[in-house]
Amino acid sequence: MNRRGRMWLLPVSVLIALLLGLLPLPQPVQGLRPYWLALVVAYWVIEEPERVGLGFAFLVGVLADLVSGALLGEQALRLVVMAFILQRFRAQLRFFPLAQQALAIGGLLLNDRVVAAAIHLLLGLPQLPWPYWLAPLVGMLLWAPLFLLFDAFRQGRRSR
């Protein structure tokens, strides 16, 4: 547990994740855009459970909805669901090897797509085309490098 208040990384990482979500991608690969914000929130929920919980996920989600012009509350709901599941399994997750952690995160991201599809279905909004279902795979592959990068920033003091 890093108790030395290196919390500048938290707002910065959220901001960068929001920007990466807005960056224009060419049409063919748009569906593959990983859900950066979910990865960042997942990292903080696992690493800083005292500071980061459901409320944080909710607020970040509302901000993301405002920024992307999406339905207000959609990403908030999705991130809260994800944060809750993570909190439940945090004890096990922390002792997984990184590859296994990435698999779990991939599963969570896939679940997130299902939740999003369900919201769209309930409200009669158009469903996203099929390439968007590949995004969790990209997110899964990004988990390990992201995790190591964040840890490097936070002095790599993880009590394993």
Kindly state whether residue 132 participates in binding another protein, applying the rule CB under 8 A. Answer: yes
Kindly state whether residue 138 participates in binding another protein, applying the rule CB under 8 A. Answer: no
Nearer to another protein, 132 or 150 (CB): 132
Which residue from 55, 107, 145, 156 is in contact with another protein, where contact means CB under 8 A?
55
| Torsion region of 98: left, alpha or beta (phi above 0 gives left; psi -120 to 50 gives alpha) | alpha
The two tokens of residue 5 are 């208040």
Q: Which of residues 139-158 bind another protein (CB under 8 A)?
A: none
CA distances from 64 to 9, 58, 76, 142 (A): 18, 10, 8, 20
Kindly state whether residue 56 participates in binding another protein, applying the rule CB under 8 A. Answer: yes
Q: Which of residues 67-106 bind another protein (CB under 8 A)?
A: 67-74, 76-77, 80-81, 84, 87-88, 90-92
Give me the DSSP letters along 95-153.
TS-HHHHHHHHHHHHHHHHHHHHHHHHHHTPPPPPGGGGGHHHHHHHHHHHHHHHHHHH
Q: Minimum distance from CB of 73 to another protein (Å)?
A: 3
The binding site for another protein (CB under 8 A) comprises 15, 18-19, 21-25, 30-31, 33, 49-58, 61-63, 66-74, 76-77, 80-81, 84, 87-88, 90-92, 119-120, 123, 125-126, 128, 132
